Structure 1
Amino acid sequence: MAVATVEERNKACVDACAECQQACEACAYTCCVNDGEMAQCARLCLDCAAICALCVTLLSRGSRWAARVCELCAEICEACAEECEKYDAQACRECAAACRRCAEQCRAMASA
């Protein structure tokens, strides 16, 4: 069985997306324990985690759709970062930072 490797030019974006996915999942969990006051944050985090996971998959296999999905991912990451920045929770701050990094890498990938 052949092992697929991520092209070097895709690696930074894949890494940023994977980190963002993990941060979003952690933030969504934190938001869920706050009696619904952070429901919008949790929903955005879950959407962001899902699109980041898709980016990792498509970039890893060299899909021709990866750049277009990265454009959408950057948009969702920005929205998620803006929502997370409304809260003081450590998970939200970490998520916002990861989302900003991911958006930057996804934009670079999409424009390459």
Structure 2
Amino acid sequence: MDAKMMDAVSPDMMSMAGMPAMDMAVMQACMDACSACEQACVVCSMQLMDCAPACGNAADMCNTMMRAMMRMSGMTPASMMAMLDACIAMCQTCMDACMMHADDAVCRMCADACQACMDACNAMREAMAA
């Protein structure tokens, strides 16, 4: 989501989405981390190492997480929390698989992106719980 789109999202829109306390900067950070993780996972999965399935799954989950966050309606707090939990779990699985090849620069990049995505998703969970 770019800055113009972020500016166009009013607090009323987030209230309609059932998440009146959502900090848009936290949401943007989570989307950015999901995007970076998706890209790193796609690159890593193309190496055809044994981490490829986990990377592909994490990339798909991050993409789905971003698309869900970009919808301003139809997402309840409970379903958003479940999506965040799933994204965190997929990134953890991917990171664990890639860390087995931490000496490979691409796998290391992917593991780092997964960690950043988990951190951002956890921050979003905390912001929603507040």
Task: Determine if the TM-score, normalized by the shorter chain, exceeds 0.5.
Answer: yes
TM class, shorter-length: 0.7 to 0.9
Which residue matches 2:95?
Answer: 81
Relative to the length of structure 1, the TM-score reads 0.83
Corresponding residue of 1:45: 55
**Larger Rg, first or second structure (1 or 2):** 2
3-state SS of 1:99 partner: helix
Structure 2 length-normalised TM: 0.72
Structure 2 residue 70 is the aligned partner of structure 1 residue 56: no
State how far apart, in whole Å, the 1-side matches of 2:92 and 2:43 are: 17
| Mean CA deviation greater in 44-53 or 74-83 | 74-83
In structure 2, C-alpha distance between the alignment counterparts of 1:14 and 1:99, rounded to whole Å: 13
Distance in 1 (CA, whole Å) between partners of 2:31 and 2:70 is: 7
Hey, what's the Cα distance between the residues in 2 that align with 1:106 and 1:9? 9
Alignment pair present for 1:68 and 2:82: yes
- CA shift, 1:66, in A, is 2.6
Are the equivalent residues in 2 in contact too, given 1:26–1:91 (CA < 8 A)? yes
How far apart are 1:9 and its partner, in Å? 3.2
- The residue type equivalent to 2:40 in the other structure is A
Sequence identity percentage: 32
Q: Decide which of 111, 119, 125 is 1:104's aligned counterpart.
A: 119
Q: Does 1:23 align with 2:44?
A: no
Name the count of aligned residue pairs: 103
> For 1:51-98, what per-residue CA distance to the aligned partner results, in whole angstroms no more than 9, with x for missing partners?
000110011114333332011111111111111011122110000000
- Range 81-90 or range 63-72, more displaced: 63-72
SS at match of 1:91: helix
CA distance in 2, matches of 1:68, 1:107: 12
> Which runs of no fewer than 5 residues in structure 1 stay unpaired?
33-37
